[in-house]
Structure formats: C-alpha cells, structure tokens
Amino acid sequence: MNDHYLKKLDRVTAILTQLQSKPLVRAQDLAEKFDVSVRTIYRDIKTLENAGIPIIGEAGSGYSLMDGYKLPPVMFTKEEVLSFITAEKLMQKFSHQSLGSHYRTAMEKVRSVLKYSDKNLIQNIEKQIDVFNYHPETEDHIKDILPIILESIAEKRQLTMEYKTNEGSVSMRTIEAVGVFFEFNYWYIMAFCTLRNDFRQFRVDRILQIFKTQNPFLQEYGQINDYRQNGNGNKTIVKLLVEKKIINHLSNSKKYYGLIDEKETDEGMELTFETEWINDGFPRWLITFADYATILEPEILKTRLNELLTDISAKHQKTSANR
C-alpha cells in the first residue's frame, strides 16, 4: 500500500471519529482540519458511505451519523494514551471538585476500551507523573455547581443565585452565564447580571445557592474571552517603569491586571496597563514589587499607593506598641 492510500486511510478514519464526536460536521471545517480540498472531503465521505456507514447530510449543509448507529470502540494510539494519563494528573490537581468525579468516570470508560498492552502502559507510567499544586483548595457550598452552570449556558437558561460578596453582604442575583474560567486558584462565572444590567464576574465559591430557571436568555452572547478582554467598566491608563531583573516574575500577573503594551528602555521595562481597579486591586498588586517600580502615570495611583503604605505602616506600628 503506497503513501497516498495510507494518508487517505488515516484521514477517512479521523473523519469517522469526527462524525462520532459531533452532531454535525461541515466539509469546509474538515478540509481546513486535514489541509485538503473540499472536493477531497466529498470523496472521503463517499468512501465511508460505500463501506456501509449510514451518513446523513449533503454537500453544503454538513454531515452526521444516523441516530442510533453504533460503532465499535475507538482505538487509541500509544501517544494518545500517554496524553490521557498526563491530562488525568492535571485534572486531579486543578479541576473543580464538581467535575472531578465525572472525569474519573469518563476515564474509567476510556480505560475499558484500551488494548491489554496499553493498560499495562498506564499501570507502568501513571505513578511516574505528578503535578505539584501549592495553592490551597477552595470549598463550594453546592456539590455539582459547575455542571449546573454549564447546563444553563448550553440550554441558554437564566440562573438565580444567592451570592456573598467580598465584603460579606449577601444578595439575590439573576444572571445569564456566558462562560466559566479558572484564574489564580479560583473558578469564576462571566455573566450578564440583570440586577446591574451589565456584565460581571462571580467567584464560584461565594455562591450560597443556585437554581436553573426555565426563563430563556434575553440576548445572544459571544465567546467568554470577548467579555473578559473588553469589559464595560471605566478604565484608567497606567504606566510603570519596572526594573528588568524582576520582569519575569510578573509574566502571568501583568496580563491579568490589564497589560496592553510593553517596551524596553535604557532605564527598564515600560509597562502600559488599562485597568478598572485603580483604587484597590491594582495598587495592592503594585505593592508586591513597588520597590522595583516607578509610577509614570497617573497621579491618582501614586496617591492611592501612598495611602495604602501609610495605613500598613500605621497598623504595624500600633501592633508593635501593644506588645
């Protein structure tokens, strides 16, 4: 069998996998995925049909497998099996507790269809991989909270929840969840809040109660990153001059705090931010490396930083005096 037919066999098998895993598959998407022409995809679909695979659809609209059609278990390559093991370790340390049990069940099903040799591979290698997580785990008030949120997104149904703010006050909110994300050891919901008539982030571990309603979304939403990157709050431009020797330590956090530009100068790295947290979040973050940074603008940030430093100094002086 020559190289051309081997490539076609691999591609046709992969197309079958796509049909198994998605409700509708477009020929254009398959052509882009496998870097071939749409006409080639049409021929591949015809090959599957000739092999007895009941495919519904036609060129231009998309393809799917006939409902109820069962295929034999998918066979995995050795590299795919190793990737499952690594992903499982990551899920054990970083997944939300409401998803962990579901993932373990899913992995048991994956293991059940592996060849005997691959099962031995897992047994020999899974104890040689570990992920070290130094952050404390958070506890939620609701056992299966993330699945509830994800179901509401998929079904486009509103959620009502009892939410505890950072200050300790509790309020009832009706939200339309756009998505969920994990950042700095916490899970968040990005949602449209009907009370505030604006987009808000809610920390999942602060939700005391949550219910999925039968009320549909009042509007359509884009991808979650559209709202995380383009918030609707009042933003302030901040410019800092930071010593080069610590810039690597800020690689992750600087993006979170709104970095929009970075350039090297003779004096250091000039960082430009766009932030909504000029009065609290941003200056508190700046304190962690303030001895290596100079505020270029705005003046309000200099004033706020000095206020925080004065409060901190006064607090510790009072504590020392009372001992």
pLDDT digits (tens, 9 = 90+) for 157-181: 999 999 998 778 999 999 999 999 8
Domain boundaries, the chain: 3-65, 78-127, 145-229, 236-319
Q: Is the pLDDT of residue 295 over 60?
A: yes
The verdict on pTM exceeding 0.75 is no
CATH number for the domain running over 236-319:
3.30.70
Q: Is the pLDDT of residue 233 over 60?
A: no
pLDDT digits (tens, 9 = 90+) for 100-120: 667 777 777 777 667 667 777
Question: Which option is the CATH number for 3-65: 3.40.50.300, 3.40.720.10, 2.40.30.10, 1.10.10.10?
Answer: 1.10.10.10
Contacts with 235 (C-beta within 8 Å, 6 or more apart), sequence order: 258, 274, 275, 276
Q: What is the pLDDT of residue 320?
A: 66
CATH 1.10.10 is held by the domain 145-229: no
